[in-house]
Amino acid sequence: MTGDSAVDEFREVAAEHPRCFWLDGGGAREWSGRRSLVGWLEEDDVSLSYSAATREVTRHVGDTSEVVGDDVFAVLETELKTGGARDQWFGYLGYASRPDLPAYPSEDVPDAVWMRPSHVRLFQHDLTRRNSRSPAHASAGQRELHRVPGETPAAYAEAFDRVQEHLHAGNSYEVNLTYRLAQESELDPVGVYLRLRALNPAPYAGFLQHDVTGAAAWLLSSSPERYALITADPDGRHSIETKPIKGTTPRGDDLISDEEQRQLLASDPRFRAENLMIVDLLRNDLSMVCEPGTVTVPTLMAVESYETVHQLVSTVRGRLRDDVSTVGALRALFPAGSMTGAPKLRTMQIIDEVESTARGAYAGAFGWLAADGRADLGVVIRSLTTTGDGTYRLGTGGGITVQSEVADEYAESQWKAERLTRSLSAVDQP
């Protein structure tokens, strides 16, 4: 089926089925493919939700909800081993999904939701419409944010200063400092998502609806970043690839300024240092689950251009050891190094100290995994969440190093969020 019919199918599915998803390939890149998957669950199909606050994984089937464990990774592993050989699970892991790492429990949607659908439809998209944006098409809102960042809020400035103290004390090399925004909208999640995909097409775009009492969650994603792709090799073993993003500049208003921004991103020592630190972190993460000598960096600091930003992207690959499962590999990498900083554990402790609100689904991973060992997930950035109450939440931020300036970092966080907030307006058309 074509990509245009995916929108119609999505509208119908979301209206009829409380538990459904769309992994949306409409904003695909060459490296991410052009496939969309729309799926839904029948009443007797299984979904899982996880609360980090109670340390409970709940299994939902029909009208029954039963606590089945205290670790969502472990429960997913069991479900994959005991289910059918063709089973696929679709969902997200929020930032607090690993109980052995420091993170505030989510304040709105569950810390994780996973679904095993009975029905999945495949759609192919025409890429000729995508990724052809002219700099002149930048929104007035984005241009204004770029030019006039405004006053930095005291709470952000205080958190920034505390991060700098840790950096200068040698406790971390880089800290990904983020914060949350909440905004009301009269639009329903389907309407918001369709606006978001028009405003900010991305390779890891997608929609998840889990309209279940006590575990309600909607996730609306327009993420450009790959968390992990696990593929089957011809010999039956598996390889893993991650594409960390670290370093971002806004698109210019015209071709000349746009190219200047692109060159700035490619050459600025601060951006390159940020990216290299995360590449080293991910090389270390992959080395824990991959065969010795197989971890490589085929692409280092390439510039990718999106609707509103240029991003500095690297690629890290390795071959999984035979004793490492897909879920085990995903857990070892979690959360994405680009969303923590380096070293990971100590930096997560700093984040836990300086950030005043829970990240929730933000900074986690969203996608699918299969019983045959394959998986494909994006990092949850440029995304909205809601429990269906009309309030939408988003996270935004960026990597902080000793060279960072507070006003610049806050301005960057604002224009990263601009398309998300625009998508919530019923007046402003994409």
418 and 139 Cβ atoms separated by less than 8 Å = yes
Give the contacts of 74 (CB within 8 A, at least 6 positions apart): none
Whether the CB-CB separation of 384 and 395 falls below 8 Å is answered with: no
Indicate which residue of 174, 225, 412, 418 is catalytic.
225
| Catalytic residue (choose from 79, 243, 246, 418) | 246
The answer to whether 382 and 200 are in contact (CB under 8 A) is yes
Query: How far apart are the C-alpha atoms of 9 and 40, rounded to whole Å?
Result: 11
d(CA 92, CA 366): 4
Q: Are 247 and 256 in contact (CB under 8 A)?
A: no
C-alpha pair distances (Å), 5 with each of 1, 2, 18, 126, 366: 7, 6, 21, 12, 23
Distances (CA, A) of 266 to 65, 117, 222, 223: 50, 42, 23, 21
Angle between helices 72-82 and 326-333 (to 10 degrees): 160
User: Distance between CA atoms of 3 and 159, rounded to whole angstroms?
Assistant: 43
Do the Cβ atoms of 416 and 206 come closer than 8 Å?
no
Beta partners for 47?
Answer: 60, 115
Asked if 266 and 313 count as a contact pair (C-beta separation under 8 A), the reply is no
Residue in this structure with the two tokens 């090799």, named with its chain if needed: 233
Residue 246 among the catalytic residues:
yes
Q: Which positions ≥6 away from 127 have C-beta within 8 Å?
A: 28, 34
Per the annotation, the verdict on 225 as an active-site residue is: yes
Catalytic residue numbers? Answer: 225, 246
